C-alpha cells in the first residue's frame, strides 16, 4: 500500500457531482473521525442535497471516492447502507396512516424493537398525537415525526437535509440534543443547513466554493 | 425476509386505509364490462363468444387505472429514498410492492369476475377456467405494470404514457388467458394455455422486479 492510511472513519476524496449536463460541485474533500460533525452550507442550488444523496448512495458520484474505515464504500454497498440514516427534505410521512402507524411501519422495516416507535414519538413530543391520522399534522409536526425515525435504530452515520425546517424553538433544541447524543456515542452527523442549527465543534463545508470550482472547470473545458 | 413481509404488509395497509382507489378499479371493471352487452345487443350466442376477450381486456384496463400511483406517491413524499436504503435489495422492494398491488387490486377482480361472466351467459366450466386464468395472469399484470410505473416515474402525464408502455407487454397474458377459455368452450383442454400463462407469470416474477428496480433507481438520480 502506497496510500497513507487515515485515522478518519468517514472520508471523501475529490467528490464531484453532475446532474444531467450541469456540474453541481467538484473537489469535495473531508475527513470525519468518530463523533465528528460536518455542517454543509451554501446558497440554494449549490448542491447540499445532492451531496447528501451522493453520500447516502442514492446518487452516483461523477468522480471521487468515499471511504469508511479506509475501505472504499463502493466495494460493499450493502454494508454502507446498513450504516446510514438519511433524512431528506421530504418527510416520507404517509397521510393516510396515523402517527403511530407511520413510525411503527418504519420500525418494522428497519427491524427495530417493538417499543421503539412509541419511545421515539415520546422523544419528539408526539405521544399525544399518536392516534391522529398524519394528514392532520402541521408541517412542523410532520417534520418531528420524520425526525423521530432517527431514534428507531442505531446507525453510525446520520445524513440530514435541512432537519430544522419548520421546527419551533423547543423542537429545534431537541433536535440539537439528539444530534449531540448521537455524536457523543461516536456517531457522525453530516447536516445541511441554512443556519438555525449549530453543531458545537463541527467542521464546516461551504459548497459555494465547490460549486464555483465545478462551474469554472466546465467553462475551462468549453474554452479549450 | 421479515423486512420483505413488513413492506408487503405496509403496502396493503396503505391501500386499505384509503380503499377508494381499489374499489374504483373494481367498479370500473364491472361497469366497463357491463357496457358491452348494451352496446352489442342482447344476443346470447354472440355475448358468450366475446365474453372471455372482453373480461380479459377489462381486467387489463382496470389494472392500468391504479398502476401509475404504484411508485409515484412514494417518489413524491420521499418514501422511495428511504425504501432504497433499507436492508432489502431493490428488486425485492419492487416485488413486494407489485405483489401488494396484486393482492389489493387483482384479487378483488377475481371475486367480481364470476358475476360479470354470468351476465355474459358464460358456462360454468368457462367461468372456472376464466378465474384460473385471471388468478395466474393477475400477478403478471401487476408485475409488468410495476416496470412501466417505475419507468414513467417523474414523467409528466405518466398516467397516459404508462398504458402505451405496458399494454403491448400484456398481450401474451391476454392471448393465453382468452385462449384457455375459448378452448374450454370449444371442447378442447384448457391446460396447455394455462400452463403457458403460468410460465409467463413465473418469467415475470423473475424478471420484472429487476427491471423495475433499475428503472426506479434511474428515477432517483
Cα B112–chain centre separation: 14
In this structure, the dihedral spanned by the alpha carbons of residues B137, B143, B147 and B150, taken in order and rounded to 10 degrees, is 130
Strands A157-161 and A84-87 come out as parallel
Tell me, what's the pLDDT at A196? Answer: 74
Phi and psi at residue A18, in whole multiples of 5°?
A: -140, 130
Domain residue limits, chain A = 93-153
Cell digits of residue B140: 403478471
Q: Inter-chain contact A92–B81, Cβ cutoff 8 Å?
A: yes
CA atoms within 13 A on the CB side of B102: 22
What confidence tier does A224 reach under pLDDT thresholds 50, 70, 90?
low
Asked if B85 and A86 come within 8 Å (Cβ–Cβ), the reply is yes
Measured between beta carbons, the chain A residues lying within 8 angstroms of B218 are: none
Pairing of strands A37-41, A63-68: unpaired
Residue A1 has pLDDT above 50, yes or no: no
* pLDDT above 90 coverage of chain A, percent: 58
Residues of chain A contacting residue B220, judged by C-beta atoms under 8 Å apart: 58-59
Q: Which residue of A19, A88, A106 is in closest CB contact with B78?
A: A88
Cα angle: A21, vertex A24, A27; to 5 degrees: 120
Chain A residue with Cα closest to B16 = A96
Q: How much is the pLDDT for A216? A: 83
**What integer is the mean pLDDT of A39-46?**
88
What nine digits make up the cell of A100?
403511530
Between CA B9 and CA A105 the distance in angstroms is 9
pLDDT for residue A187 = 94
Mean of pLDDT over chain A:
89
Q: How buried is residue A195: exposed, middle or buried, by Cβ count under 10 Å (0-12/13-18/19+)?
A: exposed
Classify residue B205 by its DSSP letter. Answer: H
pLDDT for A3 equals 54
- What cell was used for A176? 440539537
Nearest to A92 among B6, B14, B77 (CB): B77
**What pLDDT does A143 receive?**
94
Asked if A109's CB is within 8 angstroms of B3's CB, the reply is yes
Best of B82, B84, B213 to mutate (most A CBs within 10 Å, chain A): B82
Query: From the list A84, A96, A109, which residue is nearest B18 (CB)?
Result: A96
Q: How many CA atoms lie within 13 Å of A134's alpha carbon, on the beta-carbon side? A: 24
Nearest chain B Cα distance for residue A50, angstroms: 9
Residues of chain B found within 8 Å of residue A86, distances taken between Cβ atoms: 81-82, 85
- Three-state secondary-structure class, residue A192: strand
CB contact under 8 A, A111 and B78: no
CA distance B204 to B15: 23
Q: What is the pTM of this model?
A: 0.91
CB contact under 8 A, A110 and B86: yes
Is A111 in the B-facing interface, judged by CB distances under 8 Å?
Answer: yes
DSSP B121-169: T--HHHHHHHHHHHHHHHHHHHHHHHHHHHHTTT-TTHHHHHHHHHHHH
Quote the CA–CA distance of B205 and B140 in Å, as a whole number: 8
The ipTM of this complex is: 0.89
Phi, psi of B171 (to 5 degrees): -55, -45
pLDDT value for A2? 45
Evaluate whether B101 touches B71 at the Cβ level (below 8 Å).
Answer: no
pLDDT per residue rounded down to tens, chain B (221 residues): 789 999 999 999 999 988 888 899 999 999 999 999 999 888 888 998 899 999 999 999 999 988 988 999 999 999 999 999 998 999 999 999 999 999 999 999 999 999 999 989 899 999 999 999 999 999 999 999 999 999 999 787 877 899 999 999 999 999 999 999 999 999 999 999 999 999 999 999 999 999 999 999 888 87
Residue A174: φ, ψ to 5° = -65, -40
- Residue B124 near chain A (CB below 8 Å): no
A166: pLDDT strictly greater than 80? yes
**Are residues B221 and A59, on separate chains, in Cβ contact within 8 Å?**
yes
Do B76 and A86 count as a contact with CB atoms less than 8 A apart? no
pLDDT band at A207 (very low <50, low <70, confident <90, very high): confident
Q: Quick one: angle between helices B90-101 and B191-220, nearest 10?
A: 130
User: With an 8 Å Cβ cutoff, is B81 touching chain A?
Assistant: yes
Q: Which of A67-76, A195-204, B125-134, B137-146 has the lowest mean pLDDT?
A: A195-204
> Where does chain A show beta strands of DSSP type E?
10-19, 22-32, 37-41, 63-68, 71-72, 84-87, 157-161, 188-192, 203-206
List Cβ neighbours of B125 (8 Å cut-off, separation of 6 or more).
B184
CA dist B39 and B48 (Å) reads: 14
Amino acid at each position: 500500500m502506497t496510500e497513507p492510511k487515515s485515522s478518519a472513519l468517514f472520508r471523501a476524496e475529490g467528490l464531484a457531482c453532475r446532474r444531467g449536463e450541469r456540474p453541481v460541485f467538484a473537489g469535495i474533500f473531508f475527513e470525519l473521525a468518530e463523533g465528528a460533525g460536518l455542517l454543509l452550507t451554501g446558497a440554494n442550488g449549490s448542491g447540499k442535497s445532492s451531496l447528501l444523496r451522493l453520500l447516502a448512495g442514492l446518487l452516483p458520484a461523477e468522480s471521487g471516492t468515499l471511504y469508511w474505515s479506509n475501505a472504499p464504500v463502493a466495494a460493499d454497498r450493502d454494508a454502507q447502507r446498513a450504516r446510514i440514516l438519511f433524512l431528506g427534505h421530504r418527510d416520507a410521512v404517509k397521510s393516510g396512516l396515523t402517527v403511530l402507524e407511520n413510525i411503527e411501519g418504519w420500525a418494522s422495516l428497519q427491524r427495530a424493537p417493538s417499543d421503539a416507535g412509541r419511545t421515539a414519538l415520546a422523544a419528539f413530543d408526539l405521544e399525544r398525537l399518536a392516534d391522529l391520522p398524519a394528514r392532520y399534522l402541521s408541517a412542523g409536526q410532520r417534520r418531528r415525526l420524520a425526525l423521530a425515525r432517527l431514534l428507531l435504530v442505531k446507525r453510525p452515520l446520520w445524513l440530514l437535509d435541512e432537519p430544522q425546517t419548520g421546527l419551533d424553538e423547543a423542537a429545534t433544541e431537541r433536535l440539537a440534543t439528539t444530534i449531540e447524543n448521537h455524536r457523543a456515542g461516536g456517531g457522525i452527523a453530516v447536516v445541511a443547513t441554512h443556519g438555525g442549527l449549530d453543531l458545537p465543534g463541527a467542521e464546516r463545508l461551504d459548497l459555494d466554493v465547490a460549486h464555483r470550482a465545478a462551474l469554472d472547470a466546465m467553462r475551462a473545458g468549453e474554452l479549450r | 425476509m421479515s423486512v420483505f413481509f413488513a413492506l408487503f404488509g405496509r403496502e396493503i395497509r396503505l391501500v386499505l386505509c384509503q380503499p377508494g382507489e381499489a374499489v374504483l378499479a373494481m367498479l370500473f371493471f364491472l361497469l366497463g364490462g357491463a357496457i358491452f352487452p348494451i352496446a352489442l345487443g342482447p344476443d346470447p350466442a354472440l355475448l358468450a363468444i366475446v365474453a372471455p376477450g372482453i373480461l380479459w381486456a377489462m381486467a387489463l384496463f382496470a389494472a392500468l387505472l391504479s398502476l401509475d400511483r404504484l411508485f409515484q406517491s412514494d417518489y413524491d413524499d420521499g418514501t422511495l429514498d428511504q425504501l432504497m436504503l433499507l436492508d432489502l435489495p431493490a428488486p425485492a422492494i419492487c416485488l413486494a410492492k407489485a405483489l401488494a398491488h396484486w393482492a389489493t387490486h387483482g384479487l378483488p377482480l377475481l371475486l367480481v369476475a364470476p358475476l360479470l361472466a354470468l351476465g355474459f351467459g358464460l358456462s360454468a366450466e368457462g367461468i372456472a377456467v376464466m378465474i384460473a386464468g385471471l388468478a395466474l395472469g393477475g400477478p403478471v399484470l401487476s408485475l409488468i405494470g410495476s416496470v412501466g410505473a417505475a419507468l414513467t416515474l417523474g414523467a409528466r402525464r405518466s398516467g397516459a404514457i404508462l398504458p402505451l408502455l405496458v399494454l403491448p407487454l400484456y398481450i401474451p397474458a391476454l392471448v393465453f388467458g382468452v385462449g384457455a377459455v375459448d378452448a374450454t368452450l370449444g371442447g378442447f383442454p384448457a391446460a396447455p394455455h394455462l400452463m403457458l400463462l403460468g410460465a409467463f407469470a413465473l418469467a415475470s416474477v423473475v424478471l420484472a422486479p429487476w427491471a423495475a428496480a433499475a428503472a426506479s433507481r434511474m428515477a432517483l438520480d
